[in-house]
């Protein structure tokens, strides 16, 4: 496999495209608008510049990586000659099912179809295609170029051959692939999201404040980032969506999103992406922090 298509130029999509291109793969990055694609390429360029500055790669490596990425605004054009498609669109079941129907029609019959979904059933995604044995989950972690884990999710009919190919491909990206079965939330989010949700419940119930909760988990449990700060970085809307998938999948109230999380999402307080979540990421707040350093 040398030709890869990535659907979606957002945080996960551009990170996946960056990673494949950096390891010598030809990548077609696909999104609905050129504006989104331009933002994705700008992010990749900024991340590569950071790697050059840290002397992890050379300027030549950076140029080769960027030259390996082509952009497309239509699925049909972008997937014609690829060996693998990795879908990294918004965590919305209806959208993913629609995309996989399109991919099944547009791709060669030999093309493997993977989803970066963090919670949605691979078996259900595969069911809208005529190649369910060639549909698999590749759940990368954010930030993709840095994080080593890839959750490899087998759908009910995913073949051994395809699973082995994707496991080996992940190793070629210097990742550690871990095979899991297809249940809501898989492993990573089945454990992580209830913890984040419980941290939000703890705040909601007035047990402690945001920074206090995060401090306990960072200093007491050796977590590199507190659960509320992590939720902000993931996106509170994404956390809410994953919890809903698990709640609907298991019918267990322990996965029900905390009312505070629901309200924050409805109010548009989504974390880093919106400038405010449990913490304030606005430009004015950044200016205040800089000013405070000089007082």
- Chain segment 4-22, per-residue pLDDT in tens: 999 999 999 999 999 999 9
Q: Which residue, 133, 154, 181, sits at the end of a domain?
A: 181
Quote the DSSP letter at residue 280.
Answer: B
Residue 269 is predicted with a pLDDT of 98
Work out the average pLDDT over 206-227: 98
**CB of 246 within 8 A of CB of 225?**
no
176 has which bridge partners?
A: 149
Q: What is the pLDDT of residue 71?
A: 98
pLDDT value for 256: 98
Task: Identify the CATH number of the domain in which residue 199 sits.
Answer: 1.10.1040.10
Q: What is the DSSP-derived secondary structure letter of residue 220?
A: I
Ligand-binding site membership of 275 (annotated): no
Return the CATH number at 9. Answer: 3.40.50.720
Tell me if 12 is assigned to a ligand binding site.
yes
| List 189, 197, 241, 274, catalytic entry | 189
Give the number of domains in the chain.
2
Domain that holds residue 201: 190-290
**Are the CB atoms for 148 and 176 separated by under 8 Å?**
yes
Phi, psi angle pair for 135, to nearest 5°: -110, 135
Q: Based on the domain organization, do 242 and 271 belong to the same domain?
A: yes
> What's the confidence (pLDDT) of residue 283?
72
pLDDT digits (tens, 9 = 90+) for 117-175: 999 999 999 999 999 999 999 999 999 999 999 999 999 999 999 999 999 999 999 99
For every residue of 222-279, which 3-state class applies, written as one string? CCCCCHHHHHHHHCHHHHHHHHHHHHHHHCCHHHCCCHHHHHHHHCCCCEHHHCECCC
Whether residue 150 sits in one domain with residue 26: yes
Same domain, 133 and 23: yes
Query: And the tokens for 105?
Result: 């029609």
- Classify strands 135-140 and 149-154 as parallel, antiparallel or unpaired: antiparallel
Annotated catalytic residue, options 118, 121, 197, 274: 118
Q: What is the mean pLDDT of the chain?
A: 95
Q: Are residues 71 and 163 in the same domain?
A: yes
Q: Is 259 exposed, middle or buried (0-12, 13-18, 19+ CB in 10 A)?
A: exposed
């Amino acid at each position: 496999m040398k030709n890869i298509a990535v659907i979606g130029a957002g945080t996960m999509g551009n990170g996946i495209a960056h990673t494949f291109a950096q390891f010598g793969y030809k990548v077609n990055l696909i999104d609905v608008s050129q504006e989104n694609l331009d933002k994705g390429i700008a992010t990749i360029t900024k991340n590569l510049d950071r790697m050059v500055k840290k002397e992890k790669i050379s300027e030549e490596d950076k140029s080769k990586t960027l030259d390996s990425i082509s952009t497309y605004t239509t699925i049909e054009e972008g997937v014609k000659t690829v060996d693998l498609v990795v879908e990294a669109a918004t965590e919305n079941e209806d959208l993913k099912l629609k995309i996989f129907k399109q991919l099944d029609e547009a791709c060669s019959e030999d093309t493997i179809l993977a989803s970066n979904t963090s919670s949605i059933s691979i078996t259900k995604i595969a069911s809208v295609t005529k190649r369910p044995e060639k549909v698999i989950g590749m759940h990368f972690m954010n930030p993709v170029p840095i994080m080593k884990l890839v959750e490899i999710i087998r759908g009910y009919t995913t073949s051994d051959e395809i699973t082995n190919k994707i496991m080996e491909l992940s190793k070629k990206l210097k990742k550690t692939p871990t095979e899991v079965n297809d249940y809501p939330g898989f492993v990573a989010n089945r454990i992580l999201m209830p913890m984040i949700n419980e941290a939000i419940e703890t705040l909601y119930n007035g047990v402690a404040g945001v920074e206090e909760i995060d401090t306990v988990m960072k200093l007491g449990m050796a977590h590199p980032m507190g659960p509320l700060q992590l939720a902000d970085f993931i996106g509170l809307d994404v956390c809410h969506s994953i919890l809903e998938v698990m709640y609907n999948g298991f019918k267990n109230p322990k996965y029900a999103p905390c009312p505070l999380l629901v309200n924050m999402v409805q109010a548009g307080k989504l974390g880093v992406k919106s400038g405010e979540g449990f913490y304030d990421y606005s430009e004015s707040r950044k200016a205040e922090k800089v000013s405070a350093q000089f007082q």
